[in-house]
Structure 1
């Protein structure tokens, strides 16, 4: 069984998130993807973050009404149940401890998040225990996976290990002693959670940015206004 972990604040979840999940499933042979909303994200300003239950409910609404992903996506509340800040390393170790030893796990991240992974708790441990699937943007030339000057390659060489090397067959960076960093291009939707929150405050429509059920939930709860 191959399981991908896709964590984040999801404040709110939007169509860009869903497109990324679908693309990863198309390109990589994962059996299941766990979406893991964070309870207390240590890197976020909590002033503009709804409570965890509301963000979890928005993720649930987005998934259960999308027939293209609901069959292989599971929503995890593991970070909501854990007290204190939500550290990804704790989540990864939790699942590795409770699931069968022959399961394979992968951590799914956007490019921006991956390039900040060195600010995470115990960040070097990730490269020893779990492969990454990094979602890049194909139109950004310095992010292309085959460019020698790619952002992923530069980050790995400077922050992790100069012994990583690109393998075109695997579409990723391999290392003799560390986990592989897979890289996939996903044509981005021009959407961000920050944009959605700003639109709501400005009274603009967000129907083209989020699933309709999520939009209705935001309006009903008066979120971000």
Structure 2
């Protein structure tokens, strides 16, 4: 089974997350996408609402999609959650499964600062998504690339393409130019603080949950 592993704070989840996951699943022919909201992320601390709320908003957002699955493996963990530990646990739970770690190019470039980065890039294949303000050619200086460096600029010039490069760990990284959505969790939180509408940025039931629980507008 081929499974996409989509982690993050999802603070809150929005249509950009959902569309990215759907395009990854469709273009790579994955059996499912596993959403894993972080409990206490090691590198992000500000403006993050409790994991129970972020988990519940994701649960609501994923309803009705048989290819999207939600895991609380990091939300249940005491202390900080590290991707290496999460992947180790997932491989124990799903033996024989090939995982594809889905993340933006900005996050991939930051991997050298993560916990046990060399171990991480040896444990999983990657799906690296385009991000506004970032070019795939910025990956040329990555210590993890083995082949495909000359390809990076060509990917930047193309539209909605999928290309594969090999990592030194003999794992693969799929470079995916996703459909630009232009929605961010930061934008949504700012709009809520300013009393602006967030309609059409996230699923209506997620918006209702945010309003009901007074998230992002009061201390929560």
Q: Smaller-chain TM-score range?
A: 0.7 to 0.9
> Deviations 1:35-86 (Å, cap 9, x if unpaired)?
000000111124x11110000000011110xx4xx11111000001111101
Runs of 4+ in 1 over 6 A off after TM superposition: 167-170
Q: CA deviation at 1:109?
A: 0.4
Unmatched 5+ stretches in structure 2: 156-160
Question: 2:184 matched to which residue of 1?
Answer: 192
* Aligned 8 A contact 1:127 1:178 in 2: no
Corresponding residue for 1:151?
Answer: 138
Tell me whether 1:164 sits opposite 2:147 in the alignment: yes
Offset of residue 143 of structure 1: 2.1
Residue 43 (structure 1) aligns with: 43
- Could you tell me whether the CA contact under 8 Å between 2:37 and 2:75 is conserved in 1? yes
Pair 1:85-2:84 in alignment: no
Structure-2 change in CA distance of 1:99 and 1:9 (3 Å): same
CA contact (8 A) 1:173 1:181 kept: yes
SS in 1 for 2:183: coil
- Encode CA deviations 1:61-119: one digit per residue, 9 max, x unaligned: 1110xx4xx1111100000111110111110111112222x321110001211111111
Q: CA deviation at 1:198?
A: 0.5
Question: Normalising by the residue count of structure 1, what TM-score does the alignment of the two structures yield?
Answer: 0.86
Query: 1:217/1:125 Cα in 2 relative to 1: closer, same or farther (>3 Å)?
Result: same
Deviation, 1:187, is 2.0
SS of equivalent to 2:127:
strand
Q: Whole-Å Cα distance in 1 between the matches of residues 78 and 84 of structure 2?
A: 14
Question: 1:12 is matched with which residue?
Answer: 12
| Structure 1 residue 175 displacement after superposition | 4.2
1:219 and 2:218 matched: no
Question: Which residue, 148, 162, 173 being the options, matches 1:181?
Answer: 173
Deviation at 1:164, TM superposition (A): 2.8
Any stretches of 5+ residues in structure 1 without a counterpart? 145-149
